[in-house]
Amino acid sequence: MNTTPCIITVAITGSLPKKKDNPAVPITVAEQIESTHEAFEAGATLVHLHVRNEDGSPSSDPARFAPLLDGIRRHCPGMITQVSTGGRSGSGRERGAMLSLKPDMGSLATGSCNFPTRVYDNPPDLVEWLASEMLHHGIKPEVEAFDLSMIFQAAQLAREGKIKGPLHVQFVMGVKNAMPVDREVFEFYVKTLQRLAPDATWTGAGIGRDQVTLARWSLELGGHCRTGFEDNVRLDRETLAPSNAALVRQVVDLCADFGRRPATPAEARRLLGLPAA
């Protein structure tokens, strides 16, 4: 049995207008810091961050990221900060505008795919540019793999020394029009990553009610977990989660079923090869 401590990522806000589905989704910087702190106390050791304008629309403004990163560093000692360079909050290089703030990590999609209502557009030159900006600022990428080719692309970037290793990949399943939740494919993702990059770590992320499915599979196969309002606002099909912390506690409880326990911040940093806080 794999007993590696589990790094629990909490994706607190996202960029979709989920606020209307659940008023508990934190939007303002103050709400985000408070929600992150609660999730940290509950057992999350990595926070994935988007920022929004006061009206809830997505933003990529470094001036909004700066106080958020400061607040999290102050209130959640050792917690790993990860900014999103995903495509909703800007286009082209705008998406990396906050990397100069030197968070611990940045998300990096290494290819394009379809999303529910649009193309998630990650052309090769933008992927290379985001990777080089992260390397320049000492930021470790979390590769967002929405299909198999993105895992190969990530392994190649790592081999060429274009990203800070060891490689960390998140397998995302259940985004409409991208890769559905499929156990055999998931196992093949894990096997392929281990073959291409034996020192790599990985996380499983599922959307909606599949958040729990992916958490279970990841705990079983030795990976790490992601939860939070960005991907899901429900504890189950009927019940709105009251907070990001409640979603984190759900994963903490699942850990015991698989002989795992949540990583401490120091363990999470060591597992990802990040410097101590």
Question: For Mg ion, how many residues bind (rule: CB under 5 A)?
Answer: 2
Q: How far is CA 182 from the centre of its chain?
A: 20
DSSP code of residue 205: E
Q: For Mg ion, which is the closer residue by CB, 14 or 255?
A: 14
CB closer to Mg ion out of 22 and 156: 22
Residue nearest Mg ion, CB atom distance: 84
Residue 92: DSSP 8-state = G
**Beta carbon of residue 15, minimum distance to Mg ion (angstroms, whole number):** 7
Nearer to Mg ion, 119 or 266 (CB): 119
Q: Take residue 49 and report the two structure tokens written for it.
A: 């961050």
Q: Which of residues 86-115 bind Mg ion (CB under 5 A)?
A: 86
Strands 224-227 and 201-206: parallel
Q: Is 244 in the site for Mg ion (CB under 5 A)?
A: no
**In angstroms, what CA-CA distances link 126 with 86, 108, 158?**
11, 10, 16
Stretch that binds Mg ion, among 21-29, 77-85, 96-104, 194-202 (CB under 5 A): 77-85
**Residue 45 Cβ vs Mg ion, minimum distance, rounded to whole Å:** 17
Segment contacting Mg ion by CB under 5 A, of 78-86, 129-137, 209-217, 240-248: 78-86
Q: Which stretch binds Mg ion (CB under 5 A): 74-82, 84-92, 194-202, 231-239?
A: 84-92
Q: Can you name the residues that pair with 262 across neighbouring β-strands? A: 6
Give the range of 18-26, 76-84, 203-211, 255-263 binding Mg ion by CB under 5 A: 76-84
> What are the angstrom distances between the C-alpha of 112 and each of 39, 49, 97, 177, 193?
31, 21, 20, 12, 19
- Residue 171 is encoded by which pair of tokens? 């397998």
Q: How far is the CB of 203 from Mg ion (least distance, A)?
A: 13
The total of other beta-carbon atoms located within 10 Å of residue 63's CB is: 11
Q: Which of 36, 45, 82, 84 binds Mg ion (CB under 5 A)?
A: 84
To Mg ion, the closest distance from the beta carbon of 65 in angstroms equals 13
Report which residue type is found at 166.
P
CA–CA separation, 277 and 260 (whole Å): 24
Footprint on this chain of Mg ion (rule: CB under 5 A): 84, 86
